[in-house]
Amino acid sequence: MEYISTRKQVPSVTFSKAVEHGLAPDGGLYIPQVLPDLKPFLNQWSTLSYTELCKAFFTQFATDIPKDELYDIIDRSYVNFDNPEIAPIRKLKDDLLVFELFHGPTLAFKDFALQFLGNLYEYQIKVSNKSIAVLGATSGDTGAAAIHGLQGKLGVKSFILYPHGRIAPLQELQMTCTGANNVFPLSIEGSFDDAQTAMKHVFEDRSFAEEVGLSAVNSINLARILAQCVYYLYAFFRLPSLQQQSFNFIVPTGNFGNVLAGWLVQKMGVPIRGFKIATNQNDILHRLFQTGIYSQEKVSPSVAPSMDIQVASNFERFLYYSVGGDGEQVKSIIETFKQTGSYVFQDFDKSSFSSSRTTDKEISKIISSVYKAYSYVVDPHTSCGFKDLSNEPSIIFSTAHPAKFPDTIEKAIGIEVQHPSLEAFKGKPIVNYSVEPNPEAIKAFMRNHINF
């Protein structure tokens, strides 16, 4: 299988190259050249364990990695999950299920992709004998998951930018108390947007990228999207058989990476009924799917901080398929959006999708009402999935463990939620570094700390 850029200005590459680069050299995002038809496999795959399913799925995509190496990478990626099912489903009532994606080491769904990506990098370094420097920006969960996926990996140095004082306190502990000497949490004065902008400028410096072996851990990296496809399949196979095709998949959404993975699985022939994009008060995607207008507003900090995003980078992949694979058109739409902050779609095809928006006030009310009805505690991101529930059978994706956001939970239901893996961080020394949110300062810091 080869991988092409959504802007189609550069030649196709192998799976390993697409993973190594993260972003395509023409500024586009990598996608598979063709989407395989999974229908013929569905019967055979339906009873596989999580890791077996992951192996079967990636055999279709990671065709340039020898099978035994690939299987070993996958086996090692899910051993640090604290539930034997890896991704268990919790039944609240017959037609209302919660898909718990928070059993990984940092208690958010990002672990599914970043544990795998860390092992993949390690394998690639072994093969190419070339070190890499990972640079990412985070509003909390990506950074924690990336740091845990990459800590202690030989030949990898990771640099994660985060906005000082604007991530949840426990998320900061997860990033800064690991004791690993190959990870550098970089605190910047400014917002997540400032961090992300500075990061993008560093990636644009191609000679620096070559010099340090720069790679991306944000969900622009295709390996992350593909690793997330696996749990959509896994959930689909576990739905009640008579209703399998009537469940709606409800996904708390920020950067459009998670729900895109599900939509791709549907495009590969898996008869998932449809998806609901559940946003918080940062609702650019909700507005798009309601009106066909993609228009950026200022980020408004919320109690579901990992969804405080206005420009959904993975939207470009969806766009590629919406315009029938016309790379020029993708490029021109993205450019118009960048210049003017908005784009109006003429006949926007939103089949398979519905959407909702949840304010901070509503998040708190939902946490409380779900707890009253089912004695079940949902985190602020997951709670957005409960907004405007219809009578259709629904499976709500739970993207984080509530213990990551104890203040919001305590305010809503008066209960202090804890998790042993978070307790372990409390009181440990914090190691972080301050840098200016500008590309030159970040590059200088990276050069000084690489010493390959």
Ligand X SMILES: *Cc1c(COP(=O)(O)O)cnc(C)c1O
Smallest gap from residue 213 Cβ to ligand X (A): 26
Question: Quick check: 255 binds ligand X (CB under 6 A)?
Answer: yes
Which token pair is 29?
A: 């995002």
Question: Quick check: 254 binds ligand X (CB under 6 A)?
Answer: yes
Question: Quick check: 357 binds ligand X (CB under 6 A)?
Answer: no
Question: Quick check: 400 binds ligand X (CB under 6 A)?
Answer: yes
Sign of CA dihedral 156, 162, 164, 168: negative
- Considering only the stretches 46-54, 249-257, 338-346, 417-425, report the one whose residues sit in contact with ligand X under the rule CB under 6 A: 249-257
Site for ligand X in 115-174 (CB under 6 A): 141
- Considering only the stretches 40-48, 82-90, 247-255, 416-424, report the one whose residues sit in contact with ligand X under the rule CB under 6 A: 247-255
306 or 310: whose CB is closer to ligand X? 306
Question: Quick check: 38 binds ligand X (CB under 6 A)?
Answer: no
Q: Is 110 a catalytic residue?
A: yes
What are the Cα distances from residue 357, in Å, to 163, 167, 188, 289, 360?
25, 21, 29, 11, 10
Smallest gap from residue 257 Cβ to ligand X (A): 3
Rounded-to-integer distance, Cα 215 and Cα 156, Å: 10
Exactly one of 104, 136, 252, 402 binds ligand X (CB under 6 A); which one? 252
Question: Quick check: 253 binds ligand X (CB under 6 A)?
Answer: yes
Smallest gap from residue 252 Cβ to ligand X (A): 4
136 or 439: whose CB is closer to ligand X? 136
- Sketch the per residue contact string, 289 through 328, with ligand X: x for CB under 6 A, - otherwise: -----------------xx---------------------
287 or 449: whose CB is closer to ligand X? 287
Site for ligand X in 163-222 (CB under 6 A): 219
Smallest gap from residue 184 Cβ to ligand X (A): 21
Amino acid 300 reads S
Question: Quick check: 280 binds ligand X (CB under 6 A)?
Answer: no
- Considering only the stretches 25-33, 231-239, 253-261, 267-275, report the one whose residues sit in contact with ligand X under the rule CB under 6 A: 253-261
Active-site pick, 39, 55, 67, 110: 110
Smallest gap from residue 141 Cβ to ligand X (A): 3
163 or 254: whose CB is closer to ligand X? 254
Rounded-to-integer distance, Cα 110 and Cα 418, Å: 20
273 or 404: whose CB is closer to ligand X? 404
Q: How many CB atoms lie within 10 A of CB 356?
A: 22
Amino acid 416 reads E
- Considering only the stretches 27-35, 197-205, 231-239, 246-254, report the one whose residues sit in contact with ligand X under the rule CB under 6 A: 246-254
Phi, psi at residue 100, to the nearest 5°? Answer: -85, 105
98 or 212: whose CB is closer to ligand X? 98
70 or 370: whose CB is closer to ligand X? 370
Question: Quick check: 381 binds ligand X (CB under 6 A)?
Answer: yes
- Considering only the stretches 21-29, 73-81, 255-263, 335-343, report the one whose residues sit in contact with ligand X under the rule CB under 6 A: 255-263
Helices 50-59 and 222-238, interaxial angle, to 10°? 130
Smallest gap from residue 219 Cβ to ligand X (A): 6
Count residues near ligand X (CB under 6 A): 16
Smallest gap from residue 249 Cβ to ligand X (A): 13
Question: Quick check: 108 binds ligand X (CB under 6 A)?
Answer: yes
Task: Tell me the sheet residues that pair with 400.
Answer: 108
Closest CA to 354 of 319, 394, 381: 394
Smallest gap from residue 372 Cβ to ligand X (A): 23
Residues serving a catalytic function are 110
Q: Which residues bind ligand X (CB under 6 A)?
A: 108, 110, 141, 219, 252-258, 306-307, 381, 399-400
